[in-house]
Amino acid sequence: MQKTHDGVTQSSYSINVNRGKKSLCINLKTQQGLEIIQDLIKQADVVLENYAPGVMERLGLDYESVKQLKADIIYCSISCFGHWGPYIG
């Protein structure tokens, strides 16, 4: 359920910077969700993810797995506190 204020669900700033973009929500913990993502990866040039370290591997969407779907994929993994070190939980 989206929060609204007087019927408004997005700021004008958000609407402006995201104009023309498409988005969707996919549950990656379901087989159907994984199949949708895999089909999208086969058509993509870049995969960009910002999950905690290890999550994409557990989902079967790590670089090696994605590379099997599309050999020339560009894969970017970003983590707020890095991929290793004292702040990784």
Residue spans of the domains in the chain: they are: 45-89
Beta bridge pairs of residue 75: 47
Q: Which amino acid is at 65?
A: S
Residue 54 CB contacts under 8 Å (≥ 6 apart), including other chains: none
**What is d(CA 68, CA 61) in angstroms, rounded to the nearest whole number?**
10
- Rounded to two decimals, the pTM is 0.71
Q: Give tens-digit pLDDT for 49-70.
A: 998 888 999 999 999 999 999 9
CB 42 within 8 A of CB 70: yes
Please report the pLDDT score of residue 76 as a whole number: 96
Torsions phi, psi of 78, nearest 5?
Answer: -120, 135
Q: Give tens-digit pLDDT for 8-48.
A: 777 888 888 888 888 889 999 999 999 999 999 999 999 99
Determine the distance from the C-alpha atom of residue 60 to the mean position of all C-alpha atoms in its chain, rounded to a whole number: 13
* Spatial CA neighbour of 67 closest among 42, 48, 50: 42
